[in-house]
Amino acid sequence: MSKRLRPPKEMFGADAGDDEYLTSRSDLKKLRVKEEERLATLALQLIEFTDKQRAPIPLDDDLLRAVQAGRATRSHVARGRQLRFIRKLLRPMDIEPLEAAVEKVQHPEPKFDAELRAIESWLMRLLSDDPHAMTEFIHITGCEDIQRLRQARRAVTPNKPKSRRDFRKLIAQHLRTIPQPGTDAGDTDASDTDASVRAD
């Protein structure tokens, strides 16, 4: 039976006692376990993202191919094998930039959160019995196609989820015409694209 090797005490200092040595070994093992958990979490996040979500994350060619292969895999066993391979590719990397990019994808900027809240707030108000909601909405957005807006509102029924989604998109389109403080006309195109995605 082979003898189990262990790192020399010199790694922990010439004067390290047995207790300190054992504690340090335990700490090293905990650090390795924590690092592997961190890699496993990142690998899983990368596989679960859609191509669009993954686009802003800086992946090299090998890692990108591995992630795409993992996402395309349907077999549970093969998926687990691919996740282990992705972790292997991640180990020598500085993964902090990847984690930061993943965090940004998962938690969009507050500006977009505010846009979503505004859309949902107006949706609920326009679908309520508030007699002034439609007039106020038309006034603040400068809506010109009032007939289309009213028709979309009347079309919303509980048994037709699509009618509600269509009305939400229409609300989002009109809200995006309102100038935002601190922005100029040149800034609206990029934000409009992101907001339209979230309105869906």
Is residue 163 scored above 70 in pLDDT?
yes
CATH 1.10.60.30 residue window(s) in the chain:
17-106
pTM (two decimals):
0.45
Note the pLDDT tens digit of each residue in 6-15: 444 444 454 4
**Count of other CB atoms within 10 angstroms of residue 193:** 9
Question: Which residue(s) pair with 157 in the sheet?
Answer: 160
CATH code assigned to 17-106: 1.10.60.30
Note the pLDDT tens digit of each residue in 178-194: 765 443 333 434 344 34
pLDDT at 109: 65
Q: How far is CA 44 from CA 49, 63, 85, 150, in A?
A: 9, 13, 12, 45
Span 122-133, average pLDDT: 91
pLDDT at 178: 77
